[in-house]
A = this chain, B = another copy of it.
Amino acid sequence: MKRIVFLLVAVATLAGVVAFTAPAPGSADQQAAPVFGIKIFPGYRDWRLISVAHEAGNLNDLRAILGNDVAINAYRAGKLPFPDGTAIARLAWSYVPSEENNKVFGRSQSFVPGSPTDWYLQFMVKDSKKYAATGGWGFAQFDKDGKPADEAMHKTCFPCHEPAKASDLVFTHYAP
């Protein structure tokens, strides 16, 4: 595994892409989330954009949904189910008004990301064998310091995603 990561870093450097330098919580020796055993993907902040969203109500956040290459290719091909190796990250920040922007617009209309939310980071990872009991998906949730949620919380992921069966348990659509 280490060899593969080193190879990727070398190739990424060749390509002029600065990977694995995101100011991300978590690192190689980071704690795995319970139930599904997923760790924070070190390069997730460099993944490409799937979509964005605003969750109002109690969550009151702005969020970005990013995907690794397998995820992005699957979304663009429009084929379901997602193939093994798909990884999707959900990042969330508090929803705050931007006084700086509002001054320029001349009215109160601009909302931007504040601090990372308490449950800043979530992953969905496709492995149809390993996660056969949960529709082929593993789920993980981490707080803003990279600490995983507990087992009880991780057991709520699959039932909550089940209504999205028609889109292979994934709520987020690709933003054109």
Contact = CB atoms under 8 A, between A and B. Distances in A.
B171 A72 contact: no
* Number of identical monomers bound together in the oligomeric complex: 2
Contact of A76 (B17, B21, B173): B21
Interface string A85-110: 00000010101001011011101111
Given A15-B17, A64-B52, A176 B69 contact: no
B62 A113 contact: no
A48 to B, nearest CB: 6
Residue with the greatest number of chain B CB neighbours at <10 A, chosen from A51, A54, A173: A54
Nearest to A10: B15
A18 interface: yes
A160 interface: yes
Given A18-B72, A47-B48, A54-B110, 13 more contacts: A12-B15, A45-B49, A53-B62, A53-B112, A54-B62, A55-B105, A56-B110, A56-B111, A58-B109, A91-B175, A98-B171, A104-B163, A104-B164
Interface residues of A, number: 59
A12 to B, nearest CB: 6
A166 to B, nearest CB: 9
A40 interface: no
Given A64-B49, A163-B104, A112 B173 contact: yes
Contacts of A17: 15, 17, 69
B176 A105 contact: no
